[in-house]
Structure 1
Amino acid sequence: MEVDFLLIGQGLAGTVLSYKLIQKGLKVHIIDDGDPNSSSKIAAGLFNPVTGRNLVKTWKADALFKEIQPFYRDMETLLGQEFVHPIGIYRPFISFEEQNEWLAKSADPQYDAFIDKVYSKSRNQGVNDPFGGLLLKSTGYIDTRKLVNSYGTWLKDRGLITNIALEEKDLIFNRDGSWEYKGIKAKKIIFTNGIQAGKNSFFNWIPFIPVKGEILTIQQDFTSSEIVNRGVFRIDLGKGVGKVGSTYHNAAVDLSPTEKGKKEILDKLHQLIDREVNEILDHQVGVRPGIRDRKPVLGKHPSKESVYIFGGFGAKGVSLVPYLSNQMCNLLIFGEEPEKEVNINRFFKYI
């Protein structure tokens, strides 16, 4: 089999990049090990333009958020599935100072696309928000597990994916600059396998930081027409069921659910929602592929011919991947370098 690109990993990064390459008429094949702890299969998939403890506008929000819903809607059409859930996000304020700051920002045109309403008093809906809160728009979540799994089936039906773990010793480099792997010959190879990309001999010098995240599914006497997000997020799944998370523990090695993680989530949820949790229905663990400087990494290996990486998206993959996959396509097809904040060349000093 001969293809233009061999992608290693079919998480969110591999899913989006491969689809965009296919749209351009290029031949791709994916090798994926089916890791159940892939962050793409566990993550809540939030897209949120205002994040962090200090409620700041996320990096390149204006460019990123124009891509999100149109792209994932297109994939819904391709796959005949629904996994895009546009829904507001409500962020309670923690002080009058924060309230005043956002009342001022609401008059700033650069926030028009993202601020629905600023509340100066409690909405009295079971949320602990004595100072009011910020209701955001152009937000929601993508069911990434459903997306990745249904796209994996689509690929399999067309013979475009092989579900095996990569054995680096079996990668063969040819004199013409191509690579071969177990009968698959590719002009270029792209590592899109998350944290695993930092464990091979090609990219083990990139400062990946595995970030363990735990998420609970709970039964609670509380319903909300929005995602509530402060300290933890709570996504309402209907009938009193909510998904709540997440923890952030660096240098994760243990992929088991922990009592410590569960307690951390429940304590923060109690601070956010004034309703008891009746039952814990599920407790999941995933590992996010973080990078030391908290920006993804895109680019070509500095010395290995025809070897590339597209990864390190951390907790914001749903927002980042559609936009940055355009830059990755331009690099792969036209040789155009990605912007400096995400370019692999910022790590060449570590080789």
Structure 2
Amino acid sequence: MTAPRILIIGGGLAGTCLAWRLHERGVPFMIVDRDEPGTSSKIAAGLVTPITGMRMNLSWRYDTLHPEAVVFYRHLESVLGSSFYHDLPIVKLLRDQWSADRWQKRREQPDFKPYFKDTQNPLVDENIFSAPFGGFEMQHSGWLDSATFLAASRAYFIERGCWQTGESDGSLVWRGETFTHAVFCIGWEAARHAWFDWVPFGSARGTVLQVKADTGGETRIINRGCWLLPRADGTLRAGPTYELSFDDASTPSPAAIEDLETKLQSLLKQPYEILDSQTAVRPIIPRKHALIGFHPGKPNIGFINGLGSKGVLRAPWVGRQFVEHLLDAKPIEPDMDLAGNF
């Protein structure tokens, strides 16, 4: 059998985590990426939350994915001499009485108990934040500074000659070098590729704001309708919006900004100033937590996609699953296997 040599098409979160998993196993690879500034991986908040969504469900396989992700990112911080993963409590302020009633039921369920902390009220400074229905503080939560993680990884791989700027169509020959496999990790743009037009892609355009506001020195992530993430420079990131659209990936719509401002006004009692905005498109593959594997008609063409809003949490695990399938013939779980779906 020919020793594997992998062309990774796309250097976002999925492609970079795949590269590190291959690096761990000593498998040669080349990342080819267009190196655009406004990708969803680079502007994502990178939140890692055990209790998620309006219905306050436990995040899928959190007890498995979270420990693996933390070990993965912490190890790479030491390798890269950089800091990008931050353990941080997330305060969930409830939006209405329905949410408050639902939380009273959730908090009594044994599988929820490890992931929240009983704290004295008020949870937040109610001169700054609106919290008429109370809330709770999550633990075993945090965020990944994905832009810093990706930039540090890129520099490391460039130094070792395995990261290049460019655009590949999936050919197994790249600038005179031959590879055994090409793996597409290009997010929502895979929907435009003829090899994957049978995958039922959707997409969500999301906008994140950079905001200046007096939050009384609050260092936790605060969420009520939208989240506020404190940054080291004293500003905050606020978001996201959610628009089902493939179009104008880099331009926030007026409706998106208006929606986010409405949410900020319901959260903050203090004035704020919008300093900047960023917009990008995230892929959605309905009813999938991820979709990985090899094209059913092209066994040398791989695919990692559909990690969604939990990409920071899932990418280290998904990357390992893909590599173990490639190198060790470990089966991909049927629900996530590209070749066996649709």
TM over 0.5: yes
* 1:103 shift after superposition: 4.2
Matched, 1:166 2:158: no
Q: 2:138 matched to which residue of 1? A: 136
Matched, 1:286 2:288: no
AA aligned to 2:42 is K
* 1:254 shift after superposition: 1.1
Q: 2:243 matched to which residue of 1? A: 249
AA aligned to 1:316 is K
- Distance in 1 (CA, whole Å) between partners of 2:314 and 2:262 is 30
User: Of residues 169, 188, 208 in structure 2, which corresponds to 1:195?
Assistant: 188
Q: Secondary structure at the match of 2:255?
A: helix
- Distance in 1 (CA, whole Å) between partners of 2:96 and 2:214 is 27
Matched, 1:272 2:267: yes
Gaps in structure 1 of 5+ consecutive residues = 172-178
AA aligned to 2:201 is F
* 1:244 shift after superposition: 0.1
User: Of residues 156, 159, 162 in structure 2, which corresponds to 1:157?
Assistant: 159
* 1:285 shift after superposition: 0.9
How many residues were matched structurally?
337
Q: Secondary structure at the match of 1:305?
A: strand
Q: 1:117 matched to which residue of 2? A: 118
| CA spacing shift, 1:220–1:240, aligned 2, 3 Å | farther
* 1:329 shift after superposition: 1.3
Matched, 1:299 2:263: no
| Alpha carbons 1:11, 1:148 under 8 Å: kept | yes
Q: 1:336 matched to which residue of 2? A: 330
| CA spacing shift, 1:56–1:98, aligned 2, 3 Å | same
Within a 5 Å distance, the mapping from 1:35-46 to structure 2 comes to 35-46=36-47
| CA spacing shift, 1:239–1:83, aligned 2, 3 Å | closer
Q: Secondary structure at the match of 2:180?
A: strand
- Distance in 1 (CA, whole Å) between partners of 2:269 and 2:288 is 33
Q: 1:212 matched to which residue of 2? A: 205
AA aligned to 1:330 is E
TM-score (norm. length: structure 1)? 0.90
| Alpha carbons 1:231, 1:268 under 8 Å: kept | yes
AA aligned to 2:261 is L
- Distance in 2 (CA, whole Å) between partners of 1:198 and 1:98 is 36
| CA spacing shift, 1:131–1:248, aligned 2, 3 Å | same
* 1:258 shift after superposition: 2.7
AA aligned to 2:28 is K
What does the per-residue CA deviation read over 1:242-298, in whole Å, with 9 as the maximum and x for residues that have no partner?
Answer: 100011111231121232222111110111222111x21111111112212242211
Within a 5 Å distance, the mapping from 1:11-160 to structure 2 comes to 11-96=12-97, 98-117=99-118, 123-125=124-126, 126-160=128-162
AA aligned to 2:244 is N
Within a 5 Å distance, the mapping from 1:297-336 to structure 2 comes to 297-336=291-330
AA aligned to 1:128 is S
Q: 1:8 matched to which residue of 2? A: 9
| Alpha carbons 2:294, 2:301 under 8 Å: kept | yes
